[in-house]
């Protein structure tokens, strides 16, 4: 009975409602209304919010059915089971300021709490969550929570299936009690200010499919116990200060791992052969480390790799023959490669959108590069190679290009003939042999660099600094000295 008409505490009212429902079935309003505790808990949450400029909580009005409020989900005879508030990153007004009120603990049947991209929710880790026995999914992402992750989190939230507090300002180390959260399938702590090493207890979380600790200040070795997380699909450890080599124990993740991101750390040693056995690998980022030696020939077996970033290491020739059908994005820049040509498996990809081969020892005529697909390209960086000829033909075919960087080559063409598509924002042709005048069409770009070429004539009015134009034969006018009359 209580479940049916939960908002009524007073028993005579209960009786009245009982009869109302059964005598006038069309008046089922009361049975659809939420439980008083849920209403009080949610209104308490609302009162902790000090600013809601987009009116996200506008529908949260006392006395109305809280199951109809924006972001509130009900199950189990109209008990509130989920709260899901999502800010829209492209709308400046779409944020909430304030803290997560302890009143939320009144919403006893809460199973999922999703407070994502609200940007300005602050305060400490909301320990009220410890009092919610049914809680399974917590995603408090891209807010401004700070302080330490509570030491006892593992004991208190042992039944969580997913925990994400990524994109906040948590400090301190990852509590070792996290080892008790054995039901977790996702653990996302990325984008905070966490320090220390990865606690050994993470090796207990055998049901994890996703572990993301990226963009923190974690250090130490990549622990061998990650190899025991045999369900992992996604392992993201980029942008930390991990050192040492890639441990051989993670070869046990080969059957299922699809994303391996270890970029922007201080890893040393060789790229292990066993990575070639990761048949499901879709994304591999080892960029900005101190890896040396050759790329293993076993990489030829990575037939499903879509995104490969090995840039900024000390890798050397020969680069292996790859057998991937369609690479989507590739970055091999700033290693010790001498590829001579843009590899065939790149040129033939039907789906490539980003190609970065800066300082890869490419020596060719631009016109000799005939990619089988140009439609999806949005980024091409071929800086610091020995490429001659003209990119005019290619740029005539790339309708959605956003960035074209080809600084430090031997490109020789009339700049006035270059088609500048509407989407183009970044153009760097510095240190080449480009001639002609600077066309007016460059004014729409966000960044331009045509310094150190053979350009001549008056510069059209632009916002770019002098360093974007210096070192040419006879360019003149602002920001360079005025043209002679």
DSSP code at position 340: B
Ranges within 68-107 binding ligand NAG (CB under 6 A): 97
Dihedral angle, C-alpha 338, 339, 342, 344, nearest 10 °: 180
C-beta closer to ligand NAG: residue 7 or 380: 380
Q: Which range touches ligand NAG (CB under 6 A), out of 19-27, 54-62, 285-293, 464-472?
A: 464-472
C-beta closer to ligand NAG: residue 6 or 191: 191
Q: Which range touches ligand NAG (CB under 6 A), out of 54-62, 134-142, 297-305, 474-482?
A: 297-305
* 262 near ligand NAG, rule: CB under 6 A: no
C-beta closer to ligand NAG: residue 107 or 160: 160
Nearest to 72 by CA among 112, 44, 32: 112
Contact residue for ligand NAG among 465, 473, 481, 483 (CB under 6 A): 465
Backbone angles phi, psi at 274, to 5 degrees: -65, -15
Contact residue for ligand NAG among 243, 251, 388, 443 (CB under 6 A): 243
Nearest to 444 by CA among 418, 458, 426, 431: 426
C-beta closer to ligand NAG: residue 48 or 150: 48
CA 419 remoteness from chain centre:
32
- 172 three-class SS: coil
CB 348 within 8 A of CB 369: no
C-beta closer to ligand NAG: residue 446 or 467: 467
C-beta closer to ligand NAG: residue 92 or 131: 92
Q: How far apart are CA 210 and CA 190, in angstroms?
A: 12
Binding mask 34-53 for ligand NAG (x = CB under 6 A): -----------------x--
Q: How far apart are CA 71 and CA 59, in angstroms?
A: 10
Q: How far apart are CA 433 and CA 413, in angstroms?
A: 7
* 182 near ligand NAG, rule: CB under 6 A: yes
Ranges within 108-137 binding ligand NAG (CB under 6 A): 120, 122
* 297 near ligand NAG, rule: CB under 6 A: yes
DSSP code at position 108: T
Binding residues for ligand NAG, rule CB under 6 A, total 30
Q: Which range touches ligand NAG (CB under 6 A), out of 38-46, 162-170, 293-301, 304-312?
A: 293-301
CB 142 within 8 A of CB 118: yes
Q: What does each C-alpha distance from 240 to 70, 375, 427 come to in angstroms?
A: 38, 35, 31
* 480 near ligand NAG, rule: CB under 6 A: no
Contact residue for ligand NAG among 117, 219, 230, 443 (CB under 6 A): 219
- Smallest separation (angstroms) from ligand NAG to the CB of 396: 4
C-beta closer to ligand NAG: residue 219 or 347: 219
| Paired residues of 394 in beta bridges | none
Contact residue for ligand NAG among 62, 91, 169, 206 (CB under 6 A): 206
Q: How far apart are CA 195 and CA 329, in angstroms?
A: 31
Contact residue for ligand NAG among 301, 335, 349, 405 (CB under 6 A): 301
C-beta closer to ligand NAG: residue 31 or 54: 54
Ranges within 409-428 binding ligand NAG (CB under 6 A): 417
Find all residues with CB under 8 Å of 235, minimum gap 6, and list them: 211, 212, 226, 250, 253, 257, 259, 260, 261
Nearest to 182 by CA among 212, 198, 166, 160: 160
Contact residue for ligand NAG among 124, 207, 340, 348 (CB under 6 A): 207
Per DSSP, helices labelled H in 320-436 are 344-347, 392-395
C-beta closer to ligand NAG: residue 176 or 323: 323
- Compute the chain's Rg from CA coordinates: 29
How many residues are there in the chain?
A: 485
Q: What does each C-alpha distance from 442 to 183, 213, 230, 480 come to in angstroms?
A: 55, 41, 52, 16
C-beta closer to ligand NAG: residue 120 or 341: 120
C-beta closer to ligand NAG: residue 78 or 432: 432
Contact residue for ligand NAG among 191, 199, 276, 391 (CB under 6 A): 276
* 443 near ligand NAG, rule: CB under 6 A: no
Task: Give the count of beta carbons closer than 10 Å to the beta carbon of residue 142.
Answer: 20
Instruction: Give the footprint of ligand NAG on this chain (CB under 6 A).
Output: 51, 97, 120, 122, 182-183, 206-207, 217, 219, 241, 243, 266, 276, 297-298, 300-301, 392-393, 396, 407, 417, 430-431, 449, 451, 465, 467-468
């Amino acid at each position: 009975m209580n479940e049916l008409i939960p908002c009524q505490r007073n028993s005579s009212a209960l009786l009245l409602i009982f009869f109302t429902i059964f005598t006038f079935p069309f008046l089922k309003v009361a049975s659809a209304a939420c439980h008083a505790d849920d209403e009080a808990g949610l209104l308490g949450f609302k009162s902790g919010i000090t600013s809601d400029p987009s009116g996200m909580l506008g529908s949260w009005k006392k006395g109305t059915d809280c199951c109809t409020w924006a972001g509130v989900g009900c199950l189990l005879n109209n008990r509130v089971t989920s709260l899901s508030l999502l800010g829209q990153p492209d709308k400046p007004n779409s944020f909430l300021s304030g803290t997560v009120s302890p009143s939320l603990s009144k919403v006893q049947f809460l199973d999922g709490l999703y407070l994502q991209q609200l940007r300005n929710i602050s305060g400490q880790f909301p320990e009220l969550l410890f009092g919610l026995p049914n809680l399974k999914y917590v995603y408090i992402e891209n807010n401004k929570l700070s302080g330490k992750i509570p030491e006892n989190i593992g004991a208190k939230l042992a039944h969580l299936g997913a925990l994400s507090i990524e994109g906040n300002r948590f400090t301190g180390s990852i509590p070792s009690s996290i080892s008790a959260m054995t039901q977790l399938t996702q653990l996302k702590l990325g984008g905070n200010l966490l320090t220390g090493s990865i606690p050994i207890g993470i090796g207990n979380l055998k049901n994890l499919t996703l572990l993301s600790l990226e963009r923190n200040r974690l250090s130490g070795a990549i622990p061998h116990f990650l190899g025991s997380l045999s369900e992992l699909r996604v392992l993201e450890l980029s942008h930390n200060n991990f050192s040492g080599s890639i441990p051989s124990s993670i070869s046990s993740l080969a059957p299922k791992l699809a994303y391996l991101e270890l970029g922007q750390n201080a890893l040393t040693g060789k790229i292990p052969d066993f990575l070639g056995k990761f048949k499901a690998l879709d994304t591999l980022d080892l960029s900005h480390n101190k890896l040396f030696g050759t790329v293993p020939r076993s990489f030829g077996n990575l037939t499903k790799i879509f995104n490969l970033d090995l840039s900024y290491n000390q890798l050397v020739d020969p680069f292996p023959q790859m057998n991937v059908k369609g690479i989507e994005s590739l970055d091999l820049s700033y290693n010790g490669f001498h590829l001579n040509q843009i590899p065939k498996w790149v040129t033939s990809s039907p789906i490539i959108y980003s190609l970065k081969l800066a300082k890869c020892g490419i020596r060719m005529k631009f016109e000799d590069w005939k990619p089988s697909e140009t439609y999806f390209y949005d980024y091409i960086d071929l800086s610091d190679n020995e490429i001659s000829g003209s990119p005019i033909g290619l740029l005539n075919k790339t309708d959605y290009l956003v960035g074209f960087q080809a600084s430090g080559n031997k490109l020789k063409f009339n700049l006035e003939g270059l088609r500048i598509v509407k989407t183009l924002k970044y153009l760097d042709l510095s240190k080449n042999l480009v001639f002609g005048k600077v066309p007016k069409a460059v004014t729409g770009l966000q960044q331009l660099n045509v310094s150190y070429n053979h350009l001549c004539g008056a510069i059209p009015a632009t916002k770019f600094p002098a360093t974007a134009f210096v070192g040419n034969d006879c360019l003149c006018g602002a920001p360079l000295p005025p043209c002679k009359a």
